[in-house]
Structure 1
């Protein structure tokens, strides 16, 4: 599936990372050239700097051949404009848009080209499942056919693992850490990686339940 994600902030980068890991063809767009430069070499996606509210930029990013557009900027107005362009100008089959302000939720419907409105506060995997609406993508994310789950947990200031290295954390059997996302940027973890408040961790496990994973880090 070809996916275009507009907005390379924390949420947009995470969505792009997971969808690319699920073998989708992902393009990530952001107006901030410095942010795009930061992500170079860290994400297995095509990165495009520019304003996704402009039809010319969306066309350059491949919107005319895209199966799914996810408007994930931090600005509700921008997400509505991106959604409308994607649906009306480029006839994208499925358009999902992030809603930052709950009071604006009523605007995010077919009139603005939005097929699915996703709250920015939801769990990452749930957001992607809602945005894609595709059982094959869900299966890839959950890796259910192989009996493997992708599990997400976040480190808060109250977590007992703050300041500890990954090598010192006892994980449930059959569990590995896939990536540590810090300040919106995914990194390949090492045994010496020390966890900090705000870190988000994606783990892969074929035996552990989400409760066990959370208990290991909270």
Structure 2
């Protein structure tokens, strides 16, 4: 996969290293020459240019990229980069960093954002997830499809204990993607039994979250 990253600060460089480790081709855009440090991520292609400028993205042939990640420390810049990537170059997947949670409402389809990642929001969700049993916790929103990644920790005395996954009467648009059990990550199979204390990770649209709770017998 070919990935462009706008912003080569600590966040951008860390993302680049992870993607390169997973055998993806990465190009880092950085407008500040003082922040260009090719030795920090030698496997990446570095471009000294402002990713908010259309002409710079044209020279880089952004239309040939699969993903654009707007990872600067400036929300306005991330929105401009996202909009250009989606509307001018039809980049299939646009991921944007949200620095100020008050701006999160802007990071949606209207600005070309498929996935908005807010570090404060994720940290708050993880705190909720650690203390909330029997409540749905929204971990991430996938804007393009208006679906959410949600987590629910079953109580130890759940009436679902021992029931196989195939017997869960889940709403039509909800998908169980992972079961976290102790130190294990389980990709659920139809015959896998549910246990009390399981952390269930779903993808589901917001409007069916109440029905999802009801299906899991959490009232």
Q: TM-score under structure 2 normalisation?
A: 0.54
Q: Does the aligned pair in 1 maintain the 2:71–2:96 contact within 8 Å?
A: yes
Shift of residue 130, structure 1, vs aligned partner: 8.5
Other-structure match for 1:10: 10
Q: Name which one, 1 or 2, has greater alpha-carbon Rg.
A: 2
Q: 1:95 to 1:51 in 2, by over 3 A?
A: same
Q: Does the aligned pair in 2 maintain the 1:40–1:47 contact within 8 Å?
A: no
Between 1 and 2, higher relative CO (CA 8 Å, sep ≥ 6) is seen in: 1
Other-structure match for 2:93: 94
Matched, 1:34 2:34: yes
Q: Does the aligned pair in 2 maintain the 1:76–1:101 contact within 8 Å?
A: yes
Shift of residue 39, structure 1, vs aligned partner: 2.8
Provide the C-alpha distance between the structure 2 equivalents of 1:29 and 1:75, rounded to a whole number of angstroms: 14
Provide the C-alpha distance between the structure 2 equivalents of 1:48 and 1:120, rounded to a whole number of angstroms: 26
Provide the C-alpha distance between the structure 1 equivalents of 2:30 and 2:109, rounded to a whole number of angstroms: 24
Matched, 1:59 2:58: yes
Shift of residue 33, structure 1, vs aligned partner: 1.2
Q: Does the aligned pair in 1 maintain the 2:83–2:111 contact within 8 Å?
A: yes
Report the RMSD for the aligned CA atoms in angstroms.
2.5
SS of aligned partner of 2:8: coil
Other-structure match for 1:113: 112
Name the count of aligned residue pairs. 129
More helix by share: 1
Structure 2: which 5+ runs fail to align? 124-139, 143-182, 185-219
Q: 1:73 to 1:41 in 2, by over 3 A?
A: closer
Provide the C-alpha distance between the structure 2 equivalents of 1:52 and 1:83, rounded to a whole number of angstroms: 10
Other-structure match for 1:69: 68
Other-structure match for 1:45: 44
Q: TM-score under structure 1 normalisation?
A: 0.54
Structure 1: which 5+ runs fail to align? 124-128, 132-208, 211-218
Other-structure match for 2:82: 83
Q: Does the aligned pair in 1 maintain the 2:13–2:40 contact within 8 Å?
A: no
